[in-house]
Amino acid sequence: MAIREIRVFGDPVLRTVCEPIETIDEGVRAMVADLCETVAFDGRAGLASTQIGYTQRAFSLHIDGEVSYILNPEIVALEGEPVPTGEGCLSVPDLWFDVLRYPRATVRGIDLDGRELVISGEGLLAQALQHECDHLDGKLYLSRLDREARGEAMRQIRTSSWF
């Protein structure tokens, strides 16, 4: 259990479609502990397994001061009309762009005991659920930008100090 380094744009693991977790073993428990420890900082709303180098389907959340996690999350409902929502990503530091996100989202998965979990919410929680599920499908939020915004994002990345 440790605070892990965040993988950044260009790392191939960020493009990996994560495998479902079939067996909850000590390795999965350690990954969840790493996810929860690494997300528990101010300004971090969510963290997908790929962002710390794992390729199993899991993410952690840090919303309203509470840290949680979910294994094998799948979006089961998106409600409302998508609206432009300011978004950033730990794996693409210092960038902030509007992304179309649904105002309400529901995700279903399991916990470390194999019990079903359903997480549903609005606002930042809905945004984080969508953003983290995208990560687990091998997508960065940049792929949701329109052509002009994506071009600007790529210009900023090329001139950034972290790339």
The string over 57-84, giving b where at least 16 C-beta atoms fall within 10 Å of a residue's C-beta and e elsewhere, is bbbbbbbeeebbbbbbbeeeeeeeeeee
Q: Is 132 one of the annotated active-site residues of the chain? A: yes
Say how far apart CA 5 and CA 93 lie, in whole Å.
Answer: 13
Single out the catalytic residue among 19, 122, 132, 152: 132
Measure Cα distances from 121 to 10, 124, 137, 139 in Å: 31, 8, 21, 22
Q: Which residues are catalytic?
A: 132
